[in-house]
Structure 1
Amino acid sequence: MRYLNRKSLLQSLLPVALALWGAVLGGGWGHAQEGKVLIPRKQTSPPGPPLSPQESLAKMVVPPGFHVELVASEPALLNPVAMAFDERGRIWVTESFEYPRHEPGPGRDRIKILEDTTGDGKIDSVKIFADGLNIPSGIAVGHGGVWVANAPDLLFLQDTDGDDKADKQEVVVTGFGRADTHELPNSLTWGPDGCLYGLNGVFNPCRVEANGKVHEFTCAMFRIDPKTREFSLFCEGTSNPWGIAFDPWGEAFISACVIDHLWHLTETGYYHRQGGPYPPHTWKLESIVKHKHQMAAYCGITYFDSPAFPAEYRNKLLMGNIHGNCLNVDRVEQRGATYAGFGEDDFLSGNDVWFMPVAQKVGPDGCLYVLDWYDRYHCYQDASADPEGVDRGHGRLYRVVHTATGRPAVVSLAEASSEELVRRLADPNIFLRETAQRLLAERNCEGVVDKLEAIALGTQAAPQRLSAVWALQAGKQIRSAFLAQLLEEEDEHLRSWGVRIAGDQFAGDSKVQQLTLGLLEGASPKVQLQLAIALGKYTGMDPIAHWVQLAAECGSDPIIPSIIWQNLHPKLDGEAAANLLTAVEQLDLENAPGLAELLTKVAEKLQF
């Protein structure tokens, strides 16, 4: 009997020993004899059993003065992937039991509406809005329905009878890939221009046909106009991006895995790829960081701007770190037309290897909300090797609160008048500002166009003025006379957005074109950047000489020459090349480093 017990013990320990030995020899993870992952990738030991929500909460560490509260957990919340708040303060969450399934088609996944009806800070109402989905990897609420990334489709779901259940479905676009279910279309986020933005990963090829165009891409940021359904690529590159944040100036930042973690993305830019070929003649751009946080697996990002936290914690980018089981923090500083990112101390440490912060959002109360997938496996390698080992019984939602402010009351804008929404554009809570802006756009700014124009051209703080501009832009209410005044504004952010609007909504207006061309000489980097992009959209004019002038004016800016080139080189045929050389002959290259860089690319393409 003693021998049999010892033998049984050895048999039970042998797979663990083999896995540990495999981790030493082969890179950090091993398999049992039947393919079970014992030591997941980027972990040093078996993860152990899951903790209860209260146990996990007790292990979390946040800065002094903060504490973490549990908002929802299993069984009300299971395998959460993405989340969004609506104007009532309700939380919409996608759940996936199908992950890591590659095959398209109906599945078991669903969308839930979570609501705190008593005001005690805890979810007490859970409704299933839609089911039959298959890894719904992104969600946004607005324009009369719910937008869901459910590869290969981007869906628009509506509740037409008010029972909080979807009864109408539209496939807005289709053609997203499912080759890598960690790189599906994700992070659906409303942009300042009123478009819905999303991301896709490098090993997930897509072919989207929309509006008479075919878009073939892998790693990219895409966008859709909710009013026209127009689909376009905003920019391309990076790796497995997951998380979009817009700052108060309307600049786009994303987090990404494997390679550098933080990127400032600009329209028409092409950024460094984790892998795969670049299109011919690409002049790639890089990330905005030179530092690293813990192991490179990031998921989600938010720009925190709310009075619910002390000033030193505002205006920072917070990112979920899956392998690090924590929230990392970066601050950004402007560098010409782009930014540089600098790491700061972690904001939250989970101290639990199951903790997987997949989304972070500023809520209607101004606090930080953190969605936790909660699983032993963080990487697709582990999930693919052991799909049955993927946990499907847990999920948590947390709220981080500062003691000095407590948990402010949730503000609902569902019944707000347009005048109230205009006032909310000055709210210090970024969520309320952005939601007010979206609601005004949905109403086409009816009855408040004059008021919004007055704010945009007034003396208020620039972020409030920009919010008014964006509401008008998203509501398709930009008038040419107003745009002309906007282009004369002293603040570079307002002028640069005026140029961007000119390219987006007045591309064929010769008077608007001339107004923007008048800004070429002596423009700030932000204005120069938008001029470089708008010139590629204008119709009825030859932009070559203007791009040359802009390249000569931009000095050593880190990104403007590349953006000029990405817009210029597709037009660089024989006649355009001759026009370019004529324009260059009149300039002093020794004092124009940006133009000198550009001409190197021209010579390479034309094989001079």
Structure 2
Amino acid sequence: MKRFHSLSITALLFGLLSCDQGKRSADQRQPGADSLAMREKFASSPVLDAQTAIKQMQYDDGLEVQLVASEPLVVAPVTTTFDEKGRMWVVEMTGFMPDTAGTGEDQPNGKVVILEDTNKDGVMDKRTVFLDSLVLPRAICLIENGVLVATPPKLWFIENNNDKPGKRTLVDDQYAAGGNVEHQPNGLLRAMDNWIYNAKSDKRYRKQGDKWLKEPTHFRGQWGITQDDYGRLYYNNNSENLLGDYFSPGLGGINPYQQNAAGFDQRIVPDNHTYPIRATPGVNRGYQKGTLDDSLRLVNFTAACGPVIYRDALLKNYTGNAFVAEPSANLIKRNILSDSSYVVKGKQAYKGKEFLASTDERFRPVGLFTGPDGALYITDMYRGILQHKTYLTPYLKNEIKMRNLSLPLNCGRIYRIVPKGSHPALPVMDTSTAALVQYLKNTNGTLRDKAQQLLIDRQAKSAVGALTAMAESDNNQVARIHALWTLEGLHSLSLPLVEKILQGHDPELKLQALAALPAVLNSSNVKALAQALDTLADNKFLAPVVAYQLPLLSKADKLAAAKLEAKMINAYARDRYVSAALVNNAAGRETALLKQLPDTTLVLNKQLQSVLKHLDNQANAKKMDKLRKDYPLGHKLFTTVCQTCHGKAGEGIAAMAPPLNESNWVNGDKKKLISIVLFGLTGPVEVHGKVYKAPEINGDMPGIGASDEFSDVDIAQLLSYLRGAWKNNAGKVMPADVQQVRKQYSGRQKPFTAAELTN
């Protein structure tokens, strides 16, 4: 599988049941269908048993959906991972939204359970509770002799003593600090480069002996994260089909003031249309024009999550495709990906239909995974309420009431998709060192990943010779990449091997070797590697990754690094990807570097100016400390609700929301600002003279005025905080001001448009 041909690539939470059994081929939309008739047809949402629920699904010919587990064996599953014994470790978020007010959401009823298929018929029949009494657990990762578990706000490493929890080590007490259930870090993906990455996060983790390392990385996604066969990461946010990186995830992330680095957080599949086979009025802004079509079906993603790149050959025509869950529309999207150089692009596999869709409103797929058996696995929370209380609109509350969607809370299913008539068993891996090395050639990406991880966890130094031989000359490119990174994880990657790959003919392997340079470069070999980097910098395909090695090179030889930087500035200052790498290397030197670039049209010039602006905005530390003390409720509300989309420094986040800093809306008429926060804002909005609209940002900002969580005092403090934060300098907002606007627009449900507020 080569990057220059058709390439494969990787791909929670939450929105609502019915009963018509459809045909196996996916239904087409029915433009002009009468919404009242659709209301009548889908007026109820009965709770279906798992086998009946499968009958409500429509999916591609030649495939079969099989039940792997259902209640009471599993309840509200949100994510899963597989161990070498063929077992599934499942996170159960039982406490999510017990009712529309979220009553009891803080109860410790979440669990991590182990599911096992003892008779090898493909159906789980044994449940072991590994951890219980958890509050809204959200992610899991198996590593060495234990388990990483995310339970907000903390990240714990818990030793596994024969499937019973042992010693606990606190890895990060701020792993998921702030935000709410829909906007907190999750994922814990153990990636090919041996670091653990997350969605909705700019941190990565790694176990080094008895210590845990924590480093900054690029901010990525919202719910769910996955990788392709080259170790590149993919993710999304609730309204974006698929986002991802063009380069190895460990590159960059050094300059704390660099935002939106080119080549990372890219829009891989820009088409966000959805094609449900049932009416889907139970979405948060279903009342809003354009959210539903005239047959009451969701038009665009509103709860995209749980992406996966399918990495096996069992489903023959789907290898390398990206699948994305949309629980609000009860469907799973299929996308076809391809590479041109290192740029990844994708398109929806179908027009007017989906890979899988259900007429069951309670089918809530929130996680997708490639199983070690080659099947595509689906975690289904199977419940009515998906929207968290923070953003729950009166419209959706009414939909929930009409169809009795609050209960039950004790359901949950896991399915797998296989070729029709097949019944593959989850394999028990041969864990001998020799066998694990051979697994690196397997067609199944999950088995390859697990073999790499087990070799590293056991520090299997006896495999170094075989791994080196595989990395040097095997005709299986993917196996060579795994061997390279396994050696890196064993601290046994050698300079001769890296040099041999860099002198070879495979450009993809060269990219991988460059990304692994931190494992071998030191003061004793820096001269040789500096010369190699200088030569490789002439190759435009390799140049961005060469430029990302400048910080490492600078530590060993500042003169060599400065010389290479100057060469790359001269050659690539108009290249957005190389410029992003140069800006990453220029942390603390942005002004000096900018002075070397008299041509203001250069891409590098513009990227440096953007960083300097962000840096300037951070110079208000004392001011921000005072605001936190003056408006503690406002600061808390900002960090839990606003920051997740608008950014910590109020500069906005790509594909999410525009800036708050120096915003004309924040600094302008306070009544307009109050109106936006209470009722929301939809459609294009102009900030700083720039018009922001989808897909550059999420087209809708939800209001929080209908939430019982926040009082008028809370909202007044939030707005006072924002109007004084960073470079903003506007007046206070009082609770009476909020009350006045509430009264003025009493009974309003829909969000404002910018035009309404400016006319």
- Is this a same-fold pair by TM over 0.5? yes
Is the aligned partner of 1:358 residue 2:366? yes
**Which residue among 484, 488, 494 is the counterpart of 2:509?**
494
**Matching residue's letter, 1:518:** D
1:112-131 deviation line (CA, Å, top 9, x unaligned): 10000001111111110111
Counterpart position of 1:16: none
1:98-147 deviation line (CA, Å, top 9, x unaligned): 22579998712111100000011111111101112111101121211111
CA distance in 2 between counterparts of 1:225 and 1:255 reads 27
SS state at 2:548 partner: helix
Counterpart position of 1:155: 156
Counterpart position of 1:197: 197
Structure 1 pair 569/46, CA: closer, same or farther in 2 (3 Å)? Answer: farther
Counterpart position of 2:147: 146
**Which residue among 469, 478, 483 is the counterpart of 2:484?**
469
Name which of structure 1's ranges 371-380 and 449-458 shifts more when overlaid on structure 2.
371-380
Contact 1:196 1:225 in 2 (8 A): no
CA distance in 2 between counterparts of 1:384 and 1:226 reads 43
Deviation at 1:511, TM superposition (A): 3.6
Is the aligned partner of 1:597 residue 2:613? no
CA distance in 2 between counterparts of 1:577 and 1:478 reads 37
Name which of structure 1's ranges 492-501 and 555-564 shifts more when overlaid on structure 2.
555-564
Structure 1 pair 314/605, CA: closer, same or farther in 2 (3 Å)? Answer: closer
Is the aligned partner of 1:117 residue 2:118? yes
SS state at 1:478 partner: coil
**Matching residue's letter, 2:382:** Y
CA distance in 2 between counterparts of 1:165 and 1:395 reads 24
Contact 2:240 2:272 in 1 (8 A): no
**Matching residue's letter, 1:523:** N
Contact 1:336 1:558 in 2 (8 A): no
Structure 1 pair 507/73, CA: closer, same or farther in 2 (3 Å)? Answer: farther
Contact 2:194 2:206 in 1 (8 A): no
Deviation at 1:468, TM superposition (A): 0.6
Contact 2:574 2:603 in 1 (8 A): no
Counterpart position of 2:129: 128
Name which of structure 1's ranges 97-106 and 182-191 shifts more when overlaid on structure 2.
97-106
CA distance in 1 between counterparts of 2:521 and 2:70 reads 49
**1:130-279 pair list within 5 angstroms:** 130-160=131-161, 162=162, 164-175=163-174, 176-200=176-200, 219-220=201-202, 222-225=204-207, 227=209, 228-236=211-219, 238=221, 241-259=222-240, 261-264=242-245, 266-267=249-250
**Matching residue's letter, 2:92:** E
1:456-515 deviation line (CA, Å, top 9, x unaligned): 010412111111111111222212222222322221121112111113553655246415
CA distance in 2 between counterparts of 1:298 and 1:148 reads 23
Deviation at 1:333, TM superposition (A): 2.2
**1:425-464 pair list within 5 angstroms:** 425-464=440-479
Bigger share in strand: 1
Counterpart position of 2:565: 547
Contact 1:317 1:329 in 2 (8 A): yes
1:302-361 deviation line (CA, Å, top 9, x unaligned): 111212111x21111111112221111222222443312222133211222211111111
Contact 2:148 2:157 in 1 (8 A): yes
CA distance in 2 between counterparts of 1:113 and 1:603 reads 51
Structure 1 pair 433/259, CA: closer, same or farther in 2 (3 Å)? Answer: closer
1:425-465 deviation line (CA, Å, top 9, x unaligned): 11111111111111111122321101111110104121111
CA distance in 1 between counterparts of 2:311 and 2:612 reads 48
Counterpart position of 1:292: 272
Name which of structure 1's ranges 97-106 and 69-78 shifts more when overlaid on structure 2.
97-106
Contact 1:139 1:187 in 2 (8 A): yes
TM-score of the superposition, structure 1-length normalised? 0.78
Contact 2:487 2:493 in 1 (8 A): yes
**1:248-397 pair list within 5 angstroms:** 248-259=229-240, 261-264=242-245, 266-267=249-250, 282=259, 284-285=261-262, 286-294=266-274, 295-296=300-301, 297-310=303-316, 312-345=317-350, 346-381=354-389, 389=406, 391-397=408-414
Is the aligned partner of 1:478 residue 2:493? yes
**Matching residue's letter, 1:224:** R
Identity in percent: 23
Deviation at 1:221, TM superposition (A): 5.5
Counterpart position of 1:17: none
CA distance in 1 between counterparts of 2:268 and 2:128 reads 41
SS state at 1:467 partner: helix
Structure 1 pair 45/507, CA: closer, same or farther in 2 (3 Å)? Answer: farther
CA distance in 2 between counterparts of 1:291 and 1:317 reads 13
Contact 1:104 1:152 in 2 (8 A): no
SS state at 1:570 partner: coil
SS state at 1:229 partner: strand
**Matching residue's letter, 2:434:** E
Structure 1 pair 604/254, CA: closer, same or farther in 2 (3 Å)? Answer: closer
Structure 1 pair 377/102, CA: closer, same or farther in 2 (3 Å)? Answer: closer
Counterpart position of 2:589: 571
**Which residue among 404, 415, 420 is the counterpart of 1:403?**
420
**Which residue among 521, 537, 553 is the counterpart of 2:537?**
521
Contact 2:71 2:413 in 1 (8 A): yes
TM-score of the superposition, structure 2-length normalised? 0.63
Counterpart position of 1:86: 83
Structure 1 pair 78/518, CA: closer, same or farther in 2 (3 Å)? Answer: same
**Matching residue's letter, 1:129:** F
1:189-225 deviation line (CA, Å, top 9, x unaligned): 110011222222xxxxxxxxxxxxxxxxxx5353334
In structure 1, stretches of 5+ residues that fail to align are: 1-43, 201-218, 271-277
CA distance in 2 between counterparts of 1:349 and 1:435 reads 31
Count of residues in correspondence between the two structures: 521
SS state at 1:308 partner: coil
**Aligned-pair Cα RMSD in Å:** 3.2
SS state at 2:441 partner: coil
Contact 2:96 2:105 in 1 (8 A): no
Structure 1 pair 302/221, CA: closer, same or farther in 2 (3 Å)? Answer: farther
Is the aligned partner of 1:75 residue 2:72? yes
Contact 1:355 1:374 in 2 (8 A): yes
CA distance in 2 between counterparts of 1:105 and 1:476 reads 43
Structure 1 pair 536/334, CA: closer, same or farther in 2 (3 Å)? Answer: farther
1:124-176 deviation line (CA, Å, top 9, x unaligned): 1111011121111011212111111111111112222x2x2213222111112
In structure 2, stretches of 5+ residues that fail to align are: 1-40, 275-299, 614-759
Contact 1:113 1:127 in 2 (8 A): yes
Deviation at 1:577, TM superposition (A): 5.5
Q: Of the two structures, which has the highest relative contact order with CA contacts closer than 8 Å and spacing of 6 or more?
A: 2
Contact 1:143 1:226 in 2 (8 A): no
Structure 1 pair 507/64, CA: closer, same or farther in 2 (3 Å)? Answer: farther
CA distance in 2 between counterparts of 1:64 and 1:536 reads 52
SS state at 2:323 partner: strand
